Amino acid sequence: MKSITLSSAPSTNAYVAAHADTLPCPCVVRAVDQTAGRGQRGNHWESEPGKNLTVSYYLRPEGVHPREQFAISEAIALAVADTLRRYGVEARVKWPNDIYVGDLKICGILIEHSLYGTEIRHSIAGIGLDVNQTVFLSDAPNPVSMANLTGREYDLVEVMEILSQNVERRMKCVRTPEGRILLHDEFKRNLWRGEGGPWPFRDTATGRTFAARIADITPAGLLTLRVEEASEVEEASGLLRPAETKTYAFKEVSFIL
């Protein structure tokens, strides 16, 4: 996969989108200093210049219909988890596509699609992976880096090359129905808080908090929760019990850390 390195850019996703007609596909664009990185919900992504991996993958997932686009998110998230495990960091995917180590966030992913008719023309997968930064100054509640966890620094180009290999390998699964099924099953096995619990959640529309376990992730990426009977402790803390099961789209429910 061809790689392009920029000394500075506001956003690698924005750069790829602006140059999509002239960039080779697939390729990866890296910014040494990303000055206005974006996360989900429009959040700012903090990254000390030259310390972390801030990249965007320009991909053309042939034959993937818009209704199947969550498979691309699964492939990218698993590629990041694969890369971290290569360095001895055991990571999980926090639905829908953040990467966590324990209760700490090590990577954010922002995927944007360009549609043409009934297919996805191209996808831009932005990845912000905390690698060598050890001090975080923003008000993000739980950032962590590979260096924080292991006590060593890493070659960013090497990490990017391994990540690119994993992205290419995982994206091959997106091309066929059989591959997407295998990818989806592995994604569910790698979910953060996918086991144990019940865990606290908040319904973003009502503000209610409740205890639930993850029952399923649909192929479209919807989260199905199985709500547990509230214990006395949960009732005392204000946890409420809605319907027995409920399915949520992204932004309709949030984990409580």
pLDDT digits (tens, 9 = 90+) for 36-78: 765 544 455 567 889 999 999 999 998 888 999 999 999 999 9
Q: Pick the residue with more confidence: 36 or 110?
A: 110
The residues spanned by each domain of the chain are 2-189, 199-255
State the sign of the Cα–Cα–Cα–Cα dihedral 172, 98, 102, 253: negative
Band (pLDDT 50/70/90 cuts) for residue 100 is: very high
CATH number for the segment(s) 2-189: 3.30.930.10
pLDDT at 118: 83
Q: Which carries the bigger pLDDT value, residue 243 or residue 199?
A: 199
Q: Looking at the predicted structure, is the pLDDT value of residue 239 above 60? A: no
Question: pLDDT by residue (tens digit) across 181-237?
Answer: 999 999 999 999 999 989 999 999 999 999 999 999 999 999 999 987 555 445 556
